Structure 1
Amino acid sequence: MNEDRHNPEMVSLISPDTVIKVSSTLDKSVGKKNLVDGSPETCWTSQQGLPQTITLILPSSSPRGVIPKLLSITFQGGFVGRTCAIHARTVDRTHSDIPGKANWRLLTYIYPEDVNRKQTFTLPSLSDAAFIAPPSAPISPSGLSTLPATASMPSHFTDLGNTYTGNPTSEMEHDVNELGITALRLTFETSSDFFGRVTVYDLDLKGYLA
């Protein structure tokens, strides 16, 4: 049977070999391992202050890295990262884990709702990421988002739970020539918590081998 290389089945890109780094942890009982343990009873909680980050270093059997497509995240209501910048580290750069270095590229911004349920966001390709602009609204000292509910987005966004939908004719099509990544960083710039804390019960990333 011939394999459809343009439309393979998406898989979870998080494995036991995935290295997870977080900016801070409130205490050992709410550590980073709880992000991907699959239990609805455990969570990661940051210390107070913004920004807070989660970095996933993604091992892959492919030398071209992985192509993320769907990010799923479950927050605790009241402790939600309301404005989140997502950066990707490409395979054609040096493997430096320092924010701001050239190998980290802004992929998109997402705006999760202040709810307890799982929220899923479709991620753009790196080629589409060139059109993503950071929000212009300031961040208040409390860390609460000052973005209006109808904050403007580029034309390739639609209002589907603040989810990037990309090109509607090829949203989930896998281009074998698409550039892969080796790491993904979530930077929570605002929080629904007055003190800037973020609590995440579950995190998953699905996509393809590049």
Structure 2
Amino acid sequence: MATSLICSETQSRVSSVLNRDVKQYGKKFMFDCNEETCWSSDQGDCQWVSLEFPQTVKVSEVKLQFQGGFSAKTCRLEGRLKDGDFLGLSQFYPEDNNCLQSFPIQEAPTVDKVKILFENSADFFGRIIVYSLDILGERTS
């Protein structure tokens, strides 16, 4: 049974925050279950989010909700285990809308860190706006 792998001990990092205004647009807003708040990246190519889990996990699904007009056209999920190199796990193609979207991950290996790279933003300046992000799967240790 897949459950949310994001917990209070999960460490998150992002490529950038709009105008460095973390109080209004910080990474924590992707995980607060509030549909009024969001993470907003600054402009630039290939924005990303990384998550480091307190134990090893097997990812089975990524759930994302973008703001229409500020979504990625291509997303790449990478994972790594204990200071190893990142390996490509999956590539998926979100629609440019405001809906919560689900992307199943087939046969992902055990990892302790994942990185989602948002490539080819729908926004001319490369900004990404995420209202909700969840990673589903199983804890393995």
1:103 aligns with 2:73: no
Larger radius of gyration: 1
Deviations 1:84-133 (A, max 9, x none): 1110112xxx42xxxxxx5210011111000000000001224xxxxxxx
The residue type paired with residue 107 of structure 1 is L
SS at match of 2:28: helix
RMSD between aligned residues: 1.1
The residue type paired with residue 131 of structure 2 is Y
Rounded to whole Å, the distance in 2 between the matches of 1:117 and 1:191 is 16
* Aligned residue among 77, 85, 89 for 1:86: 77
Instruction: Please name the residue that 1:32 is paired with.
Output: 27
Segments of 5+ residues of structure 2 without an aligned counterpart are none
> More strand per residue: 1 or 2?
2
Normalising by the residue count of structure 2, what TM-score does the alignment of the two structures yield? 0.93
Instruction: Please name the residue that 1:193 is paired with.
Output: 123
SS at match of 1:33: helix
Normalising by the residue count of structure 1, what TM-score does the alignment of the two structures yield? 0.63
Rounded to whole Å, the distance in 2 between the matches of 1:43 and 1:121 is 20
Rounded to whole Å, the distance in 2 between the matches of 1:201 and 1:52 is 15
Following superposition, which runs of at least 4 residues in structure 1 exceed 4 angstroms of deviation? none
Identity of aligned residues (%): 39
**Per-residue deviation, 1:58:** 1.0
Rounded to whole Å, the distance in 2 between the matches of 1:198 and 1:209 is 29
